[in-house]
Structure 1
Amino acid sequence: MTTNPPSVNPLEESEYTPPVGEKGKIWTPRWIGALVVVVMLGELATFSYSLVGTALPGIGLHFQTTDLGWTITIANLVTAVAVAMIGKLADLRGKRNLLVIVTSLSAAGGVISAVAPTYEVFLVGRGLQGLLYVTPALAYSLIRDVFPKKLIAFAITVTFTGAGALLIISPFVAGWLIDGYGPLSIFWCIAAFQVICIIGVLLLLPESPLRVKSRLDWVGAILLGAGGALLVYGLGNAGTWGWTSTSFFGFMVAGLACFAAWIWWDSSFPEPIVEISLLRTRPMWTTLILNAAVYGPAAIVVSLVPIIVQMPRDPGGEIGFASDAFGVAAYMAPHGAAMVICGFICGAKAARWGIRYPMMAGCGALAVGSIGLAFLHSETWQVLLWLLFCGVGMGATFGGLPNLVVQSAPPEKQGITSSIMLSAQNLSSAIAVQLAFAMLAMHTFTTELGTFFDSDGYRLAFLVSAGFALVGLAILKIMPHGRASDVREVKTASDVIAH
């Protein structure tokens, strides 16, 4: 006779059937469809980021504003503030329920942005739309709870590496929409994409049976969210204020103070939003640092290479290709293909190879690609070669990270654990990009077209990228999980209920 663990709602257990296919089948039509839906959700964040980045100049002209940074920053701020509470609510109320609610709110934000009469209203919509960056974390924690065990590693990997495919087509989609229908048309496209995902989730994905019975830790959520928001806001404005300005240091100190207060509060609160003791475990803190280390170089490479491709040649003749958006797509297509192919291979072989060794190779590839971009970037073939290395590195690491998160915490803590990892990714991306642009700002040249960054600035920026990747490689060497046996023995929701 089995008993229910305290964290599982007994009312849910009687309605739950372990997710196995009929007559031993694994790939049933339902699970294929469910995987397609979660892949779409995983791709949406990258797809929307690319579309919005391409549309920024048109958005500025439409609203007659040069304060375009808020178009990106407001979405990151909302993610930083909301991610912890959404993760906790997912553990309390059901991951599928929260996935539908969050995606619906984000789609509504897209519609608001598409019809906004003023820039202020547009930013309200962008803030709501920022919730879409939380959906991949909810999706892969739901995968662990409801997918057949033999599909979990592959499904999670595919969810997070399929986004490389959209790196190939998104510049073309953006150009077609913006040129034909205006810059705000991209938000109709994103909202329509999300509506399709919502329908797919409701039809194909079962709800997780796991529930955590506890009070919502509002104080902890506010402190954690405020700390993340202050850091993101400060870093987002550091280029304007200056890295040594009082405003920058004020926001950094305030953000760190909120984090310190959160740790103090949640260490004594009986039902904290995040169990500090869980973060102290070696699997958790190594995975947390690895998340930050891997997403840093990815953010730098994806942000800087399109600028290099479109900028004029610098005075030294070392960098710049004066291309257009379609030219950017030609550079990023091999990178995206390498990312997708490598991610699929690593996911399919996860049970045999494990996660750690492919991720070590991935961090090494990111470091090599970044160093190559730092020193050899004057010819097209050189940039394409180093982008291939970076694509391989991103495929191996992006696909492995969610599996490491799954292995680092028990099933009933997956919602909030995934959300904390997402916060680490967002904050590390912001820090890495700001550091890169700080290096670039020290090395500029001016032409009749405007002011651009020269080769020395890019060299320093890509060395920052390599530094992040090498930190990730060092963390992997001391990480206790991620082996092939960990992939095969991962616990699912049915395991928790059965015992």
Structure 2
Amino acid sequence: MPDMSSDTTAQRPPADLHTGWTGRVIGYVAVLVLVNVMVDTVLASPTFVLPQLRDAFDTTQFAWLDSSAMLAGAMWAPLLGKTADIYGKRRILVITLIVAGLGGLVSLLAPNIGVFVLGRVLQGAAVAALFLTVAIIRDVCAPKFAMIVTGVVTSGSAAFGIVQPFVLEIATKVFGWQFVFVVSAAFAAVAALFVRLVIPNSRITTPGRVDVAGALVLGGGLAGVLVYISLGQEFGWLSLLPVAALVLGVVALLVWYFVLSRVPEPVIDVRGISAVLGLGLLVVVMGTGAYRSMLALFSLLIDVSPDEGLGYGIAGPAALGLMFGIPSIGIMLGGIVAGAIATRVGPAWPLAAGLTLGTIASLTMFTVGAANLPIAVICSFLLSVTAGSLVTSGFNLASILAPPERQGTVSSMVMVMVAIGSVTMSFVGSAILGATDVVVAGETVNSSLGVHSYIAVAGCAFVLAAVPVTFLLRRMRGHVVTDVPVSQV
């Protein structure tokens, strides 16, 4: 990726970067892992209580309940990434944590689904917190060591995820779904305080302007297309409201691409994305989208007993904890191992390995896992390894292709791809389930056809991602990761 940055306000010599584990680095990592624990409470925890949220707000649009924060994150990420490069990563990270905490309180007190989604939109700022933790690591660590630390920071929060489902399963039965948002708001407040006290201020910034209009138009365009996918299944694909949302979304995306993306400092410089980075982003958008959609499906499968004879369902003792707790080890394993491997062979190979595991897990779920809890747990574990590997490798790929002063902007592109993939696949899955509902004993339920079609689509996404990852492996052949910053190469 060409270096299109302006002159930086500070150039850090390589000697100032950490190249190994010290007490100070461990302190930074501990705080940044805490930040990502908060991100998990925003993005993953609501997945555990989707059936309760669906009943509380009397809606079939589970994708909005689950993915509205991620959708908002796709809008927040490029804006906050650019802002962080200009004004400092620590400052923007603290602001995102405060906004996400306020969003948790709004969702907690929401009287209807409209207010709830508004709270989730505010919580979407947490999506930016994830990529800012990676950008901060690149600020303080040498490139090669940073790949290992990135794996720890992006996946270390999964240690909390091991016990989280077991705790939430008990707590939500006692206190209701609201408990999830109390925890999220509390973590946001604590994380903001520790970031302010422990993380050093950014020494690498770059002059520039923030294209707020471009970010709003781009985000609005994405939202319009996804609203069409969501509402089309309920009101009809050719009904006025869904079609109007689609038209407005497409027009906004066209205006952004042909007009606003050509301004001197666009919120995302699509024309400056190298072929290598573009291939990596394409892999991330399909792979993480498939994983996140499967995560949402698991929550619905847990709510159905195989004894109901629907052809799916994995309800059983401690099913929530087994499906979301034990596989958290897979996220840590995938992220940490991917970071370690990347220092030797580059981040493309861990990306390929993650996709392979995701494909195997999806195929197994499609054949026997949808109605068998032990097999479903194994598949969830494999998919979690996939998630850890894809996210860590995506960030590592972006980080070695971007100069230090543009880490926030380029890392935000990875997060946008994660968000777009996650939201798109969740809405597509929701549309599949909605279109294949059946009535059993007077109650509308998901059909076996719908569930297995859902899994098949996720599996196809993994398979299709193998195409760009093959070209990526060829492009990255012979590439050696060094501790020389990209801007000096």
**Common fold by TM > 0.5:** yes
Q: Which residue is 1:391 aligned to?
A: 384
Distance 1:471 1:167, change over 3 A: farther
Aligned equivalent of 1:331: 323
* Distance apart, 1:439 and its partner CA: 3.0
**Corresponding residue number in structure 2 for 1:131:** 125
Structure 1 residues 168, 246: closer, same or farther in 2, change over 3 A? farther
Letter in 2 for 1:260: L
Give the Cα–Cα distance (whole angstroms) in 2 for the partners of residues 68 and 379 of structure 1. 26
**1:146 Cα deviation from its structure 2 partner:** 2.0
CA distance in 2, matches of 1:42, 1:410: 24
2:343 paired residue among 333, 348, 351:
351
Distance in structure 2 (CA, Å) of the matches to 1:346 and 1:298: 17
Unaligned runs of 5+ in 1: none
TM-score, normalised relative to structure 2: 0.88
Aligned equivalents of 1:490, 1:242: Cα separation in 2: 55
Segment drifting more, 37-46 vs 234-243: 234-243
**Identical-pair percentage:** 24
Once the two structures are superposed, residues 42-80 of structure 1 have per-residue CA deviations (whole angstroms, 9 ceiling, x without a partner) of 232223333323345555777x65487554454344323
Q: Distance in 2 between matches of 1:413 and 1:343?
A: 23
Q: Report the equivalent of 1:295.
A: 288
Q: Where does residue 433 of structure 2 map in the other structure?
A: 440
Query: Cα distance, 1:152 vs. partner?
Result: 0.5
Deviates more, 1:235-244 or 1:66-75: 66-75
The equivalent residue for 2:366 is 374
Residue 230 in 1 paired to residue 213 in 2? no
Corresponding residue to 1:425 among 418, 422, 429: 418
Deviations along 1:317-362, one digit per CA (max 9) or x if unpaired, are 64223336x3121133342222322322222232123221222121
Instruction: Tell me which residue corresponds to 2:202.
Output: 208
Q: Distance in 2 between matches of 1:218 and 1:194?
A: 25
Q: Give the gaps of 5 or more residues in structure 2.
A: none
Q: Quick one: structure 1 residues 452 and 205, their matched pair in 2 at CA, closer, same or farther if it must change by over 3 Å? A: same
Residues 445 and 118 (structure 1 numbering): CA distance in 2 closer, same or farther, change over 3 Å? closer
Q: Which residue of 2 aligns with 1:29?
A: 23
Q: Secondary structure at the match of 1:451?
A: strand
- Report the aligned-residue RMSD: 3.0
Deviation at 1:306, TM superposition (A): 2.6
Aligned-pair CA distance for 1:472? 1.9
Deviates more, 1:479-488 or 1:151-160: 479-488
**What's the counterpart of residue 473 of structure 1?**
466
SS of residue paired to 1:271: coil
Over 3 Å counting, the alpha-carbon distance change for 1:78 and 1:356 in structure 2 is closer
Match of 2:89 in 1: 95
**Equivalent pair of 1:227/1:254 in contact (CA under 8 Å):** yes
| Normalised TM-score (structure 1) | 0.86
Residue 456 of structure 1 corresponds to which residue in structure 2?
449
Q: Secondary structure at the match of 1:369?
A: helix
Change (3 A) 1:272 1:441: closer
Q: Within 1, Cα distance between the matches of 2:467 and 2:145? A: 29
- CA distance 1:260–1:79, shift in 2 (3 Å): same
Take 1:223 and 1:328, find their aligned partners in 2: how far apart are those partners? Answer: 39
1:319 match: secondary structure: coil
Task: Give, as a single letter, the amino acid of the residue that structure 1 aligns with 2:95.
Answer: I
| Aligned counterparts of 1:208 and 1:228: Cα–Cα separation in 2 | 31
CA distance in 1 between partners of 2:185 and 2:206 (Å): 31
- Displacement of 1:18 in angstroms is 5.3
Check the 8 A contact 2:357/2:386 in 1, yes or no: yes
- Pair 1:19–1:174, CA change in 2 (3 A): farther
Number of paired residues? 482
Q: Is the 2:132–2:408 Cα contact (8 Å) retained in structure 1?
A: yes
SS at match of 2:481: helix
